[in-house]
Amino acid sequence: MISDSLKHFRYWQRHRHGKRAICPRLVVEIQRVFHLSQGSAGARTLAQLVTKSGIPLSRYLASKAMNTLNLVSKQPPKLKNKNRGRKHGLADNVLDRQFNVATPNTVWCTDVTHLRTGGEWRYLAVVIDLYARKTVG
């Protein structure tokens, strides 16, 4: 009796077209894992998850398979830091964790985050007045 893996391999051998053909069993597993990750897995993560499920997969083959299957990760690409190696000018810690303020509009704090909206990443910067604990900008 021939195992399922061998059947898939023989089918793949008969139906491949050039070097770019990917084993059907691998295609099914890649699609399954990608959809389980809700589209957030990139080539490296996809390769790790498929390998853990029992089918060895390199990140290079995962990347090639993602391109062939038109699978695009929802994760934003990592940006290169242009200021690598330079000293950063950090602001002095003038609050020293004293967040109780006596008068309005004397101490403002800010934070920046990114949100995914409609397939794109947007940045949100918020300015808070520490006296009223309300958003001012």
Type and span of the H or E element at 129? strand 120-129
pLDDT for 22 equals 75
Q: What is the CA radius of gyration of the chain?
A: 25
> Residue 21 has what pLDDT?
65
pTM value > 0.85: no
Closest CA to 61 of 23, 108, 111: 23
Would you state the pLDDT for residue 17? 54
Region of residue 17 (left: phi > 0; alpha: psi -120 to 50; beta: else): beta
What was the pLDDT predicted at 2? 63
Structure tokens belonging to residue 123: 């940045």
The strand pairing partners of 134, in sequence order, are 129
Give the span between the Cα atoms of 44 and 102, in whole angstroms.
Answer: 52
pLDDT of 65 reads 87
**pLDDT score, position 18:** 54
List the chain pLDDT tens, one digit each, 137 residues: 567 777 777 777 776 655 556 788 888 888 898 988 888 888 898 999 988 988 888 888 888 888 888 888 887 767 776 666 666 667 777 777 777 888 888 888 888 888 888 888 889 899 888 888 888 88
